Structure 1
Amino acid sequence: MTRSESSLGITPIVSTSMADQVEERLREYIANKAFKPGDAIPKEIELAEALGVSRNVVREALSRFRMLGIIETKKRRGMILAQPDILSGLERMMQPHMLGADTRKQIFELRLVLEVGQAALLFARKTEEGLQKLQEIVHREGQMHTLPEKVECEIAFHSTLYEMAGNETIKRFQTMLMPVFEYVVDIETSHQFHAVGSVTHQGLINILRNGTPEEFASGMLKHLEPHFRFLT
């Protein structure tokens, strides 16, 4: 029997605070009224009267919305619905030493999903300038002899791919994941591990020039595969 199920098969009532309930009601209200960023939100006293609770309870619920960037206060306009920054909270928490080994591994796997999944964007938005930048990184990589130097080229190459994809949210997400990636690379370096996948950086460039998005996705899987073998 699970926690969410009683002996009679009835889901028990979950005890929540008044502020939790008000927060839920306000989320429903905003969704049902189809508020858009910039739309004014009723005043605290109006919300308190409509919900039948004190202004302090409403204020606590609204403060949570402010922390999440859902609402903001504008001079002469009062509270308005904001354009929430969906990644800001994750950015503050993305500290490798605060994350367990399983979480770090899953985040590293998320990197694979992103890099494979952006193949179509890369082919739609690739430019000769971007391809040349990748080629210069590969040329520089060939002149490097130490493991840290090669790792630096690895990061530069993949960061350039994100830039070429041209999606700011994906690029920002990649930047957010970078501390975890660097943490994993540090672990690999301590074990003197830097295996190259069956598809190299040069191989990926060749596919970008003459191949298809499907071939690139497959190539990226093969390129990153040694990292995942190391983590498992």
Structure 2
Amino acid sequence: MEATPKIEPIISTTMADQVEERLREYITHKAFRPGDAIPKEVELAEALGVSRNVVREALSRLRMLGMIDTKKRRGMILTQPDILSGLERMMHPHILGTDTRKQIFEFRLVLEVGQAALLFVRKTDEGIQKLEAIVKQESQVLTIQEKVDCEIAFHSALYEMAGNETIKRFQAMLMPVFEYVVEYETDHDFHTVGSVTHRDLVNILKNGTPEEFTSGMLKHLEPHLLRLA
């Protein structure tokens, strides 16, 4: 029996899909910048040879993505897209599958380890003092929930110290999943501390190097990483 030929399948797309793709290509090819006016709906329909309804649907999709907006007296303009807004609306642990939650948690662990260079460039005495206050509070906690709260507060303070607004926003977006996993581990007696503690990490920030911090964070997160493996 002859083997099935390796041919790419035909992908069915709607007219609105095609118009959306053409508009993206047009905006890129013309090197539009945020604030630039784009052609009117009727002009686009005529140039593309489609109805205004099809163009309107494609433009509506771009508007939902934050790529275009309508301004009084100016018409449609290109805007700076908000790349995280759609994710923010969906990032809730109870509407995400187990595999997705696991992958998001893994991604957050990668961010934790990878922020060392930024921390050492942007650390301040005030930021160090905030971390030390959390460590002190952590040493006095009496309940598991208080311990979880300190864990979250410490790592959130590190993101704040790193000073990258996109990373901070992304961290805040991932927080519900992070809280969910940490609380799950705690409830199932999985929550153990790595060989490097929060206090150790603060000491490295004060007196060590970015390389030592990266190594320390890996050891701090080792219980999570072993369970994921």
In the other structure, the counterpart of 1:104 is 101
In the other structure, the counterpart of 1:53 is 50
Q: In the alignment, does 2:142 pair up with 1:145?
A: yes
In the other structure, the counterpart of 2:90 is 93
TM-score (norm 1): 0.95
In the other structure, the counterpart of 2:81 is 84
Task: Measure, in 1, the Cα distance between the counterparts of 2:93 and 2:191.
Answer: 20
Instruction: Give the C-alpha shift of residue 231 in structure 1.
Output: 4.2
Contact 1:108 1:180 in 2 (8 A): yes
In the other structure, the counterpart of 2:169 is 172
What amino acid maps onto 1:52 in structure 2? G
Contact 1:37 1:82 in 2 (8 A): yes
Instruction: Give the C-alpha shift of residue 197 in structure 1.
Output: 0.5
SS class of match (1:199): coil
Instruction: Give the C-alpha shift of residue 216 in structure 1.
Output: 0.7
Aligned length: 227
Contact 1:147 1:194 in 2 (8 A): no
* CA-based RMSD: 1.2
In the other structure, the counterpart of 1:194 is 191
In the other structure, the counterpart of 2:70 is 73
SS class of match (1:80): strand
Contact 1:19 1:57 in 2 (8 A): yes
- Residues 8-49 of structure 1: per-residue CA shift (max 9 Å, x gap): 333232111000000000000000001110000100000000
- Residues 131-174 of structure 1: per-residue CA shift (max 9 Å, x gap): 11101110110011211111111111111101100001000000
Task: Measure, in 1, the Cα distance between the counterparts of 2:87 and 2:40.
Answer: 30
In the other structure, the counterpart of 1:25 is 22
Where structure 1 has 5 or more consecutive residues not aligned to the other structure, the ranges are 1-5
Task: Measure, in 2, the Cα distance between the counterparts of 1:61 and 1:161.
Answer: 41
- Residues 68-96 of structure 1: per-residue CA shift (max 9 Å, x gap): 11100000000000111000000001011
Task: Measure, in 1, the Cα distance between the counterparts of 2:122 and 2:228.
Answer: 32
SS class of match (2:82): coil
- Residues 50-109 of structure 1: per-residue CA shift (max 9 Å, x gap): 000000000000000011111000000000001110000000010111111111111111
Identity between Structure 1 and Structure 2 (%): 79
Where structure 2 has 5 or more consecutive residues not aligned to the other structure, the ranges are none
Q: In the alignment, does 2:54 pair up with 1:39?
A: no
Kindly report structure 1 stretches of 4+ aligned residues shifted beyond 6 Å.
none
Task: Measure, in 1, the Cα distance between the counterparts of 2:94 and 2:225.
Answer: 20
Task: Measure, in 2, the Cα distance between the counterparts of 1:200 and 1:120.
Answer: 19
What amino acid maps onto 1:200 in structure 2? T
Q: In the alignment, does 2:170 pair up with 1:182?
A: no
SS class of match (2:151): helix
What amino acid maps onto 1:157 in structure 2? F
In the other structure, the counterpart of 1:125 is 122
TM-score (norm 2): 0.96
SS class of match (1:36): coil
Task: Measure, in 1, the Cα distance between the counterparts of 2:83 and 2:188.
Answer: 36
